[in-house]
Amino acid sequence: MSLNTFSIDLHTNYDVECWRSGKLIWTESFHNLVTTVGKNKILDACFKTGEAANQWFIGLTNNSGFSAYALTDTMSSHPGWTEATPYSNATRPAFVASAPSGGSMNNIASRAVYTINATGVIRGAFLVDNSTKGGSTGTLYGIGDFTISTRSVLIGDILNLTVTLSA
């Protein structure tokens, strides 16, 4: 008797657009590192407690002081990076997901929008189950880096961010 085995690979893709004065300035598409605490959250919610996060939120990472992302990163301890907060939103934008279909879901119908209110250099994005802008609590699901290592933003820029989760 042979056992058929399979695995589920979790993938997250971020698509970012930067608009300035009504013109598309740059776009980025990049993948996500799923952290250990992110994987544990999925396992716990699906197979142990059934308690999933009520809501997920999308944050931005800062280039200043960046050294690395790590599988062991958490919101309370991520020594290689900091959160970028040069936007006017009071909280991190919510990840408002579509219904899962074909092993995938996204927020294309309700993309995260950031209105930039300070000049800065953005490095990437992350998904967390806490809305507190600049906060250090919640479960860090995953984090990703732009394919071009950094992107500058100016006051008045609008960032639109789409997240696609697939397994």
pLDDT at 35: 80
Per DSSP, the residues of 8-72 read ---EEEEEEEEEETTEEEEEEEEEEEEPHHHHHHHHIIIIIS----S-EEEEEEESTT-----TT
pLDDT-based confidence at 84, cuts 50/70/90?
very high
List strand residue ranges (DSSP E) for 75-166, in order: 83-84, 94-95, 104-106, 112-115, 120-128, 140-145, 151-153, 158-166
Tens digit of each residue's pLDDT (9 = 90 or more) over 55-69: 999 999 999 989 999
Structure tokens at 45: 């919610």
- Mean per-residue pLDDT of the chain: 89
Whole-prediction pTM: 0.89
pLDDT-based confidence at 3, cuts 50/70/90?
low
- Asked if the model's pLDDT at residue 2 lies above 60, the reply is no
- Asked if the model's pLDDT at residue 144 lies above 60, the reply is yes
pLDDT at 40: 78
Average pLDDT over residues 16-29: 96
At which residue do the structure tokens 């009504």 appear? Answer: 22
Tens digit of each residue's pLDDT (9 = 90 or more) over 87-102: 999 999 999 999 888 8
Residue 131's nearest CA partner among 72, 79, 70, 85 is 85
56/37: higher pLDDT: 56
pLDDT at 87: 97
Whether the Cβ atoms of residue 134 and residue 73 lie closer than 8 Å to each other: no
Instruction: Report the amino acid identity of residue 74.
Output: T
pLDDT at 18: 97
